[in-house]
Chain A
């Protein structure tokens, strides 16, 4: 079965997903690598800020905040 790919920004709070591609280039791409946002990594969306943006993610056991604009460029495969 082919797994569906959706932007990380579409994942609901409390859901987990696996990174498929990081559609981001330049220094920000290497920064996200350093922070553990690699292909194959499982991410959980933990919270949305009170005004609807940014997101709070859990990755490698710590909390990272990212705007929906950047999260929308990261394609993930949702996990059941």
Chain B
């Protein structure tokens, strides 16, 4: 069966992902581009015996090396030679979209145009004639493809089929001005004489890029064998300078836009009077001089409300599932197999508890990503960057930094990966250095337990204060780092399209949110699982140890404990909990519970509950969680909401009694500040190393060890001087 390899290219915000999802449905594979930190999505579908493999290229305004995304798109089109490039083009913004089209035509790649947003164009009174557009572009086929209307996709599928049978081929693009065209021809001949270059790049295309001055491709000429090309380029530039001065690149860009303008003039009927668009009316409010920032803050507050309220019931459900039925079944199964006690303990306390501790984050993350994907797909996130850029600039950050920072409140790991959208490297790295101070959802259980035990009347206030302190420390760190480590680096230009608002496509939103969540499960899951098994071993070595204090883990913690004495919590228990917290912060609570209460979570004996009972309980629990979540969703969307759901009655647990004996209120605050600010988790450090390199990850590590110790010690000592604690 023949396979057609199709690459989807196009500007950002043109509905490319929506089209990709509509074409390929569930048959997708998502990973990274080899050697790059750019997400690659591919999928397949069938049309009448023809298999079409679709590769979704990153959004690009041009085939340049301006951003990693654009370089990936360019290299794929030019070097991988797909059977067909489908350029997804926004009908409501045709002229600018056609700039990329003219560049793809220069590569000589087989091309087809898919016209999206035709509904939006109609609303604006624009009418695009596909046949006229195709004629104006030298016969490149143009197919309407508004994914929401299925008729559009049928036309696209037919076009793929017709392509596979080899019916349509377009003409070469029109030549540039004669002096430029001469220079291109000369250069292309020199390039064609170098087999290693000519094999990878179409010579004429490479010649154009070199004349435009693409820094990355100019780097190819550094090789000694390529000296003839460098000489030819210098000679051509000298000749062209007489006509164009320093504006050779401008002349090339103008020629492309002339083509685009001519095509628009032939194919688009403009409205007599410009329509005041829906987007413009929304923006008058959303980016209003006075209302803009309050609206942004209110929206972020709403997102967090949703995350806390809607995910909490599912979180309880997952927690119950792992500690109840799953543990029971595993114990029963291992008993059946006559497994030794240590295997049972390792499975239950190490593996199942470890996996559970990863999965409890999934509901919250999924809700957070859904909310952010909704905001992104609707067009609001670009406005948020617009509104916040100036404020973030004071900290050396970029308007686009705020998305990763906000994501950090959910989980630091995906937040670090989300810094990729910032083109400027120093702004990107600085953002990544500040993310650990965003109080992730794993820290909340620690605040809750300590707050309830030590400040039963004011627990909410303590929790709020922690979030606030995190933000203040991040701001201070940003101020300092941008003036020291990153001094003079600049935060890069702010060049951002503000796309028209539109109704988000729900499948696309779901797909994006799920990709992010799945990425978290894969990356964080493996690390947390490995560390929880290792920790279990340390707690149980030397084998048969009964008092945790005598275990390898207890001994190591005792050694560390004196370090924390100036901050008021120099006990081996506190030190041990902080060490395990490096794996994931909510583990701080479970470690303290294990140590203080001796609740070593004895594996429950296989009781009389049947598999059927468990399954019914699990399904029923999920149903109840859904009912509860819907109620809370309604609550959250109505005004007068509270950010934190009631955590139930402050239970008088063994742990809270033990905490009251071990920590004075002042020491408790110092401990919480330490938990807030110290190393978020192994997975975050790993993500930082992968994204920014080990040097930066190490700086972050040092920062998140020194800062929390200093802050906790200062607060404790100052408090003592003032007579507290």
Residues of A in contact with B (beta carbons under 8 Å apart): 22, 26-36, 38-39, 47-54, 56, 60-67, 69-70
Q: A36-B257, A38-B254 are in contact. Are A30 and B212 (CB under 8 A)?
A: yes
Report which of A30, A60, A65 forms a contact with B253, defined as CB distance below 8 A: A30
- Establish whether residues A62 and B497, one from each chain, have CB atoms under 8 Å apart when the complex forms: yes
Question: Which chain A residues border B99 with CB–CB below 8 Å?
Answer: 34, 36
Q: A30-B212, A36-B96, A67-B493 are in contact. Are A47 and B283 (CB under 8 A)?
A: yes
B47 to chain A, nearest CB (A): 33
- Establish whether residues B287 and A70, one from each chain, have CB atoms under 8 Å apart when the complex forms: no
For this complex, into which size category does the number of interface residues on chain B fall? 35 or more
- Establish whether residues A54 and B65, one from each chain, have CB atoms under 8 Å apart when the complex forms: no
- Establish whether residues B494 and A70, one from each chain, have CB atoms under 8 Å apart when the complex forms: yes
B718 at the interface (CB under 8 A from A): no
Report which of B61, B257, B293, B494 forms a contact with A66, defined as CB distance below 8 A: B494
- Establish whether residues B96 and A27, one from each chain, have CB atoms under 8 Å apart when the complex forms: no
- Establish whether residues B495 and A64, one from each chain, have CB atoms under 8 Å apart when the complex forms: yes
Question: Which chain A residues border B496 with CB–CB below 8 Å?
Answer: 64-65
CA distance A22 to B214 in the complex (A): 18
- Establish whether residues B495 and A32, one from each chain, have CB atoms under 8 Å apart when the complex forms: yes
**What are 8 contact pairs spanning A and B, CB under 8 A?**
A27-B215, A28-B495, A33-B249, A34-B62, A36-B99, A53-B390, A62-B96, A70-B495
Contacting residues of chain B (469-520) with chain A, CB-CB under 8 angstroms: 493-500
Contacting residues of chain B (52-72) with chain A, CB-CB under 8 angstroms: 61-62, 64-66
Q: A27-B215, A31-B61 are in contact. Are A39 and B250 (CB under 8 A)?
A: yes
- Establish whether residues B66 and A27, one from each chain, have CB atoms under 8 Å apart when the complex forms: yes
Given A30-B212, A38-B250, 14 additional A-B pairs, CB 8 A: A27-B65, A27-B215, A28-B493, A34-B100, A35-B497, A49-B387, A50-B289, A50-B293, A54-B389, A63-B499, A65-B494, A67-B494, A69-B493, A70-B494
Residues of B in contact with A (beta carbons under 8 Å apart): 61-62, 64-66, 93, 95-96, 99-100, 212-215, 247, 249-250, 253-254, 257, 279, 283, 287-290, 292-293, 382, 385-387, 389-391, 393, 399, 493-500
- Establish whether residues A49 and B215, one from each chain, have CB atoms under 8 Å apart when the complex forms: no
CA distance A39 to B289 in the complex (A): 31
Closest residue on chain B to residue A64 by CB atoms: B497
A68 to chain B, nearest CB (A): 10
Q: A50-B287, A54-B386 are in contact. Are A30 and B498 (CB under 8 A)?
A: no
Question: Which chain B residues border A48 with CB–CB below 8 Å?
Answer: 289
A35 to chain B, nearest CB (A): 6
Lowest 5 CB-CB distances: which A-B pairs, in order?
Answer: A51-B390, A34-B62, A33-B253, A50-B292, A63-B498
- Establish whether residues A35 and B61, one from each chain, have CB atoms under 8 Å apart when the complex forms: yes
A56 to chain B, nearest CB (A): 6
Report which of B93, B95, B96, B386 forms a contact with A49, defined as CB distance below 8 A: B386
- Establish whether residues B389 and A33, one from each chain, have CB atoms under 8 Å apart when the complex forms: no
- Establish whether residues A63 and B66, one from each chain, have CB atoms under 8 Å apart when the complex forms: no
Q: A26-B215, A36-B96, A65-B495 are in contact. Are A49 and B257 (CB under 8 A)?
A: no
Question: Which chain A residues border B288 with CB–CB below 8 Å?
Answer: 50
CA distance A80 to B249 in the complex (A): 30
Question: Which chain B residues border A47 with CB–CB below 8 Å?
Answer: 283, 287
CA distance A12 to B495 in the complex (A): 20
A79 to chain B, nearest CB (A): 16
Question: Which chain A residues border B495 with CB–CB below 8 Å?
Answer: 28, 31-32, 35, 64-66, 70
Question: Which chain A residues border B387 with CB–CB below 8 Å?
Answer: 49-51
B395 to chain A, nearest CB (A): 13
CA distance A54 to B383 in the complex (A): 11
- Establish whether residues B498 and A67, one from each chain, have CB atoms under 8 Å apart when the complex forms: no
- Establish whether residues B64 and A30, one from each chain, have CB atoms under 8 Å apart when the complex forms: yes
Question: Which chain B residues border A29 with CB–CB below 8 Å?
Answer: 249
Q: A31-B62, A70-B493 are in contact. Are A60 and B95 (CB under 8 A)?
A: yes
CA distance A49 to B95 in the complex (A): 26
B648 to chain A, nearest CB (A): 41
CA distance A64 to B283 in the complex (A): 13
- Establish whether residues A61 and B93, one from each chain, have CB atoms under 8 Å apart when the complex forms: yes
CA distance A29 to B387 in the complex (A): 24
A55 to chain B, nearest CB (A): 9
A57 to chain B, nearest CB (A): 9
Closest residue on chain B to residue A65 by CB atoms: B496
Closest residue on chain B to residue A41 by CB atoms: B257
CA distance A49 to B557 in the complex (A): 52
A73 to chain B, nearest CB (A): 10
CA distance A41 to B96 in the complex (A): 12
Report which of A27, A54, A61, A62 forms a contact with B64, defined as CB distance below 8 A: A27
Report which of B62, B254, B289, B393 forms a contact with A30, defined as CB distance below 8 A: B62
CA distance A53 to B399 in the complex (A): 11
CA distance A27 to B250 in the complex (A): 13
A24 to chain B, nearest CB (A): 8
B564 to chain A, nearest CB (A): 41
CA distance A54 to B495 in the complex (A): 10
CA distance A35 to B66 in the complex (A): 12
Question: Which chain A residues border B290 with CB–CB below 8 Å?
Answer: 50
CA distance A35 to B386 in the complex (A): 17
- Establish whether residues A38 and B257, one from each chain, have CB atoms under 8 Å apart when the complex forms: yes
Closest residue on chain B to residue A31 by CB atoms: B66
Report which of B62, B100, B494 forms a contact with A54, defined as CB distance below 8 A: B494
Question: Which chain B residues border A65 with CB–CB below 8 Å?
Answer: 382, 385-386, 494-498
Closest residue on chain A to residue B294 by CB atoms: A50
Give the one of A34, A54, A67 with max B CB within 10 A. Answer: A34
Report which of A51, A56, A60, A66 forms a contact with B96, defined as CB distance below 8 A: A60
Closest residue on chain B to residue A29 by CB atoms: B249
B118 to chain A, nearest CB (A): 16
Closest residue on chain A to residue B214 by CB atoms: A30
- Establish whether residues B250 and A33, one from each chain, have CB atoms under 8 Å apart when the complex forms: yes
- Establish whether residues B61 and A34, one from each chain, have CB atoms under 8 Å apart when the complex forms: yes
- Establish whether residues B253 and A38, one from each chain, have CB atoms under 8 Å apart when the complex forms: yes
Closest residue on chain B to residue A39 by CB atoms: B250
CA distance A30 to B497 in the complex (A): 16
A49 to chain B, nearest CB (A): 5
CA distance A75 to B340 in the complex (A): 79
- Establish whether residues B215 and A36, one from each chain, have CB atoms under 8 Å apart when the complex forms: no
CA distance A33 to B289 in the complex (A): 30
Closest residue on chain A to residue B390 by CB atoms: A51
Question: Which chain A residues border B64 with CB–CB below 8 Å?
Answer: 27, 30-31, 34
Question: Which chain B residues border A66 with CB–CB below 8 Å?
Answer: 493-495
Give the one of A29, A31, A49, A56 with max B CB within 10 A. Answer: A49
